[in-house]
Chains A and B, each alone.
Chain A
Amino acid sequence: DQQVKQNSPSLSVQEGRISILNCDYTNSMFDYFLWYKKYPAEGPTFLISISSIKDKNEDGRFTVFLNKSAKHLSLHIVPSQPGDSAVYFCAASAKGSQGNLIFGKGTKLSVKP
């Protein structure tokens, strides 16, 4: 049973517009959520995170929103740039898990000039 789900395998956005990447989870014990960005032939690199005590975290062009009641989080990138084209993974960890991560399957974002 997938605990972290990214239902859109791909997303295409025009440069300058907003990219919205979605993630749903099922485990109510998750208390920390992360977004990773992955280029081909590289490991996923950490992008932004949010604790379950917050509903929004912003870092430059990247904002993560958390809706605990819906068990849903989203990553907003605005404005989108061609260099943002990559695979984005949502991950979560639960209390007491020593930070072990559960990953979604990823969404491939393509930002077109």
Chain B
Amino acid sequence: GAVVSQHPSRVICKSGTSVKIECRSLDFQATTMFWYRQFPKKSLMLMATSNEGSKATYEQGVEKDKFLINHASLTLSTLTVTSAHPEDSSFYICSATQGPHGYTFGSGTRLTVV
């Protein structure tokens, strides 16, 4: 079945540095990938929709200059948290679609900014 690999699973970085998170579809081509951030009360906030070969579509309130998304190929999307601050510490997760109903989630990345 469809597999999405997300890397790294955990990262600790210093305040002010940048962190890149990768999301790869291993056995299918994902024209669209989604990036989410988990907030308290457990819901996931959709940050942006990443389309291969075009600019990502950011949700309202998400700073596109801070959360850089690149979807350079049909199997890879990256999220870079630039100039990270402690408030950016969170669980980030990606998902990729194969069609109208097929969602496959990555295993998530726990980011801790110290």
Q: Do A and B come from one complex?
A: yes
Chain A: residues with CB nearer than 8 A to chain B?
2, 9-10, 34, 36, 38, 41-46, 49, 87, 89, 98-103, 105-106, 108
Asked whether, in the complex, the Cβ of B101 is within 8 Å of the Cβ of A44, the reply is no
Q: A2-B1, A98-B110, A101-B108 are in contact. Are A45 and B43 (CB under 8 A)?
A: yes
Asked whether, in the complex, the Cβ of B38 is within 8 Å of the Cβ of A9, the reply is no
**Can you list 14 A-B pairs with a CB-CB distance of less than 8 A?**
A9-B101, A9-B102, A10-B101, A43-B44, A45-B43, A45-B44, A46-B41, A89-B105, A99-B38, A99-B91, A100-B91, A103-B93, A103-B95, A105-B102
Rounded to whole angstroms, the CA-CA distance of A44 and B108 in the bound complex is 14
Asked whether, in the complex, the Cβ of B1 is within 8 Å of the Cβ of A102, the reply is no
Q: Does B45 contact A (CB under 8 A)?
A: yes
Q: Does B104 contact A (CB under 8 A)?
A: yes
Chain B: residues with CB nearer than 8 A to chain A?
1-2, 9, 36, 38, 41-46, 91, 93, 95, 101-105, 107-108, 110
With CB as the reference atom, state the residue of chain B lying closest to A3: B107
